[in-house]
Amino acid sequence: MAEALKIINLCKTINKREILKNINLTVEKGTSVGIVGANGSGKSMLFKSIVNLITPTSGEVYVLNERVGAKGSFPQNVGVLIESPGFLPNLSSFDNLNLLASIRNVIKKDDVKKAISLVGLDPEDKRPIKKYSMGMKQRLNIAQALMEKPQFLILDEPMNGLDRQGVKDIHSLIKKLREEEQLTVLMTSHHSEDIDALCDKVYIMDNGILSEQGETS
């Protein structure tokens, strides 16, 4: 099967501290992989390395057959939720996403509205997002990751701030996209129900070392 992600001997050292220790990982297209571990174990640093937000000390990362860092740009066809995108609080959900969409200019306004609707928000809502609840903002974060119709979705704690119904809605959405679009997913979560519901395979990150836990289904 074709690979969406291949990581070879990835290491990252900051101030003489090894944050990532010889990471090797392959994620096949159309699969969903979960990474679990304590805060500070290296999960977010790994994700940032995958999307070229940080430069590893050594090793190689390939996303959809393109080497990350080779051209100094963000990987194409990848949707990412690692940290809040830094939305402008006085703008509406649509205006915020439309502004972000204008950076690459690969989707239309209707695509932005569709992404907002997909996560259960109203694209015609004119309220500034500073009036949104935490859960609504998290839904918008997920809409941002989905709006350019990526082949590969990278989600760091996507259920943070969501209530029980929100978690159900996002679980259903990710399952639907995997089934209909053959979307590849790499995600972290502190909640076992997220991993059990959405992931085919699970890895454990412990003090910068990644090891396979096993299959969940």
Write down the pLDDT at residue 122: 98
Maximum Cα interatomic distance, the chain, rounded to a whole number of Å: 50
- Predicted confidence at residue 208, as pLDDT, reads 96
H or E segment to which residue 44 belongs: helix 43-50
Give the whole-angstrom CA distance, residue 8 versus residue 24: 5
Can you name the residues that pair with 154 across neighbouring β-strands?
80, 186
Query: From residue 69, how far is each of 26, 105, 148, 186, 193 by CA, in Å?
Result: 18, 22, 21, 19, 34
pLDDT of the residue at 113: 98
Q: How far is CA 79 from the centre of its chain?
A: 6
| Domain range annotation of the chain | 3-77+150-215, 89-149
Tokens representing residue 84 in the block = 């809040």
Question: What is the domain class of 3-77+150-215 according to CATH?
Answer: alpha beta
**pLDDT tens digits, the chain, 217 residues: what are they?**
699 999 999 999 999 999 999 999 999 999 999 999 999 999 999 999 999 999 999 999 999 999 998 666 778 899 999 977 789 999 999 999 999 999 999 999 999 999 999 999 999 999 999 999 999 999 999 999 999 999 999 999 999 999 999 999 999 999 999 999 999 999 999 999 999 999 999 999 999 999 998 544 4
pLDDT value of residue 173: 97
* Distance from C-alpha of 104 to C-alpha of 44, rounded to nearest angstrom: 24
Token match 């029980």: residue? 164
CA count, 13 A, side-chain hemisphere, 180: 8
